[in-house]
Amino acid sequence: MTVKTVQSECFEKVYPGRTLIVGMTPSGAHYAQVYWIMGRSANSRNRVFELAGDGVRNKAYDPALMEDPSLIIYDPVRSLGDLHIVTNGDQTDTICDGYLQGLSFQQSLMYREFEPDAPHFTPRISAVLDAGKKTYTLSILKTAGNDPSVCQRQFFDYSGFKPGIGHCIHTYDSEQEGLLRPFQGEPFEAPLFDSIEETADFYWNGINEDNRIAILVKHIDASSGEVSFAFRDKHGK
């Protein structure tokens, strides 16, 4: 069985798509979340991240050039107390609303499925890190081989952290005859660094330069809960 690595899955692939990583820094001082967006259309590439309270939202870099905001403008990062949520779509709000109504991460995502962007039907990837319980969960909602008649919902629970390691999941496994195939298998291990800027640079410099749009790294202080961010984007903002 081929072992997935960041090099093979994220750096060597031209278009792994939107990607998220959740884990802990080597010193154990911070929990970490990494999220990046990629795109090939002018509309998709016209985006940057911006802080929104204690979270992050996507916005148009040039509002005059925005054509269709659906599926590309959303809040990828939000938090509720010890719960730190990161996703690749508006399911961020579904998860947060669910928590406020007493639903779990898994229960909330039972109401969602992959994106309706035929013929690719891009998977929805999501994660929650519970700093209080010291656990995290990753999820993917995807088709079975681009067949939208069935939604596969997969959840991967981690009951602890390995210092210096995160688990990574992304939207696309490959592209075959113009069709983007969904991610397959389990999340794989990815390195994290004590310096938030080093983590941002490592991934920003590693992913495909033509298709990368923006990346964010979020650190949560394991003792105080204080949050910090680092950003990179193709517009140099």
In whole angstroms, give the CA distance from residue 203 to residue 33: 12
The 10s digit of each residue's pLDDT in 11-55 is 999 999 999 999 999 999 999 999 999 999 888 888 999 999 889
Give the single-character DSSP code of 20: E
Q: Residue 81 to residues 54, 98, 121, 134: CA-CA distances in angstroms?
A: 11, 14, 32, 13
- What is the structure's pLDDT at 237? 65
Angstrom distances, CA of residue 100 to CA of 22, 24, 54, 96: 23, 26, 17, 6
Q: CB atoms < 10 A from the CB of 158, how many?
A: 18
For 145-207, list the strands marked E by DSSP. 147-158, 165-170, 172-176, 179-182, 188-191
In which residue are the tokens 């947060």 written?
A: 96
Q: Which domains does the chain have, with CATH numbers?
A: 6-233 (3.60.20.20)
Q: Is 200 helix (H, G, I), strand (E, B) or coil?
A: helix
* Average predicted confidence (pLDDT) for the chain: 96
Calculate the dihedral angle through the C-alpha atoms of 146, 150, 151, 154, rounding to the nearest 10 degrees: -100
The pLDDT tens digits for 64-110 are 888 888 888 999 999 999 999 999 999 999 999 999 999 999 999 99
pLDDT at position 1: 64
What pTM does this model have? 0.97
Sign of the alpha-carbon dihedral angle for 157, 174, 90, 61: positive
Distances (CA, A) of 15 to 124, 146, 176, 236: 16, 17, 12, 21
Counting Cα atoms < 13 Å in the Cβ hemisphere of 76 gives: 28
